Structure 1
Amino acid sequence: MGKILPPGQFETENWPILHQGDVYQFDEQTWDFRMFGEVKKDISLSYAEIMQLPKTISTVDMHCVTTWSKFGTSFEGIALHELLKLVQVNRDARFVKIYGYYNGDRFGYSANMPLEALLGDDALFVYRWKDENHEWQDISPKHGYPLRFIPPASFYLWKGSKWASGIRFMKDDEAGFWEELGYSMTANPYKEERYR
C-alpha cells in the first residue's frame, strides 16, 4: 500500500520531539504499570515483568496534530492485546485511557480511545525503534523511555502517551489531557479531526 498523507500534513524523515511538562526520569525501583477500572481485579506489573512479555514488531505511520507525518518507522514493544491476556476486562468496557507521567504525576497525562481500535499489532507499548536512517535503538527519554504508547495510524500522535504508566478500562468515553483542552475525542488524521 502506498503512503497516504492525511489532509493538512507534510511528510518528514525526522521524528520531532514535542511534549508537555518535564521529561520523566526512569527509576526501575519505583516504576510500575497498572491496569485498572472496569476489570475483575487490578493488576500491577514491574518493569521486569513487562519486559518478559511477548514482543511485537510493527511498522507504524505517525501523524502529529502539529502537521508533520513520519512514515515507515518500525517499533518493538508489547502489543496492547498481549496485556489484555493478563487482566479480566468487564464485558461492557468499551474505552480505555492510557496514562503517562506528567510533571511527576504518574497519571497526569492521559489519552482516550475505543478499545476495539487497539486490538491489532499496531497498538504498541514500545521501547525500541528504527527507520531507514537509524538502526534499532532504545527510544530516548524525550520520546517516552522506558515505555511509550504508539497508537495506530488512524489516530493523531497525541493519543500516544509518553512515559506510559497504565491503562484504565472504561464503560463510557472520557476526555484525556488534550481532549479536555478542546482537541478531538476521536482524532482521526484522515478525517482531519484535530479539534472538537
Structure 2
Amino acid sequence: MTKTLPPGQIETKKWPILHEGDVYQFDEETWRFKLFGEVEQEVTLTYKEVMALPKVVNTVDMHCVTTCSKFDTTFEGIPFRELMKLVNLKPNVRYVRIYGYLNGDPFGYSANLPLEALQGDDALFVYRWKDAENDWQDISPKHGYPLRFIPPAQFYLWKGSKWASGIEFMTENNPGYWEVRGYHMNGNPFKEERFADRNNLPSGYGGADEWKDL
C-alpha cells in the first residue's frame, strides 16, 4: 500500500535517534511509573507490575518534527488505555502529560496530548520492535528502554516520551517540555503543526541532518 508522507517530511528506512539530555540507565529496583493529577487516588507501579499489564502488537508510522518519517515499524507494548484503567478520573479530564526521564529527573521531560486520541492500539508504551530489516529485539537505551511511549501517527514523535515514567491526567491542555519552548500544542504532522510561531523557530530545532541512524 502506498504511504503518504506528511508535508515537509523525508522517508527513512532506519529508525534514527534524536533526544534531549543523557541516556537513562535503567535500574529496576528504583524505576517506578506514576499515575497522578486529576485522579481519585494516585497509583505508583513497579516495573514488574507494568509489564504484567495486557499487551498488543501494532504496526505504526512515525513522523519526527525534524522532517524524517519512518513507515511500518511493528511494536509490542502496553496500550495507554490499560494504564488509564488503573485510576478513577475526576470530572472533565480531557488531556494528559506523558513524562520521561531527563538527565536523571524522572519527570524532567513531558509531552501533552488529548486523552480522546489515545484509546486505540496505536497509543503504546513499547519495549520491543521489529521492521522489514530487523527481527524482534528490545528497544535500546538510546530509543527509550525500558519503556517508551509511541503516539498515534497524527502526532509528531516529540509527543512520544522516551524512558517513560508516568502519566498526569489534566482538565486543561498544559504544555510539555517542547511546547513551552515554542513547539505547537497539537503537533499534527499532516497539518505541519511544528511550531506555535512559524516566524520564530524554537531554540534547539534542527533539520534531518541532526538524525543519527541506529
Q: Give TM-score scaled by structure 1 length.
A: 0.99
Deviations 1:85-135 (A, max 9, x none): 111111311000000000011000000000001111100000000000000
1:1-196 alignment to 2 at 5 Å?
A: 2-196=2-196
Shift of 1:4: 1.0
Name the amino acid aligned to 1:131: D
Name the amino acid aligned to 1:167: I
**Deviation beyond 4 Å, 4+ runs, structure 1:** none
Name the amino acid aligned to 2:144: G
Tell me the number of residue pairs that the alignment of Structure 1 and Structure 2 aligns. Answer: 196
Aligned twin of 2:201: none
Shift of 1:193: 0.4
Give identity over the alignment, percent: 69
Backbone CA RMSD of aligned residues: 0.7
Q: Which runs of 5+ in 1 are unaligned?
A: none
- Residues in 2 aligned to 1:40 and 1:60: alpha-carbon distance in whole angstroms: 33
Aligned twin of 2:205: none
- Residues in 2 aligned to 1:155 and 1:33: alpha-carbon distance in whole angstroms: 23
Structure 2 SS opposite 1:177? coil
- Residues in 2 aligned to 1:152 and 1:4: alpha-carbon distance in whole angstroms: 15
Deviations 1:28-79 (A, max 9, x none): 0000100000001000010000111111111110000000000000000000
Q: Give TM-score scaled by structure 2 length.
A: 0.91
- Residues in 1 aligned to 2:54 and 2:70: alpha-carbon distance in whole angstroms: 26
- Residues in 2 aligned to 1:2 and 1:122: alpha-carbon distance in whole angstroms: 19
- Residues in 2 aligned to 1:60 and 1:142: alpha-carbon distance in whole angstroms: 19
- Residues in 2 aligned to 1:178 and 1:59: alpha-carbon distance in whole angstroms: 26
Structure 2 SS opposite 1:111? strand
Name the amino acid aligned to 2:189: P
- Residues in 1 aligned to 2:98 and 2:90: alpha-carbon distance in whole angstroms: 17
- Residues in 2 aligned to 1:85 and 1:171: alpha-carbon distance in whole angstroms: 17
Shift of 1:2: 3.3
Q: After alignment, is 79-88 or 161-170 more displaced?
A: 79-88
- Residues in 2 aligned to 1:142 and 1:158: alpha-carbon distance in whole angstroms: 14
Structure 1 SS opposite 2:53? coil
- Residues in 2 aligned to 1:46 and 1:64: alpha-carbon distance in whole angstroms: 30
- Residues in 2 aligned to 1:91 and 1:9: alpha-carbon distance in whole angstroms: 39
- Residues in 2 aligned to 1:107 and 1:54: alpha-carbon distance in whole angstroms: 25
- Residues in 2 aligned to 1:80 and 1:149: alpha-carbon distance in whole angstroms: 9
- Residues in 2 aligned to 1:30 and 1:18: alpha-carbon distance in whole angstroms: 25
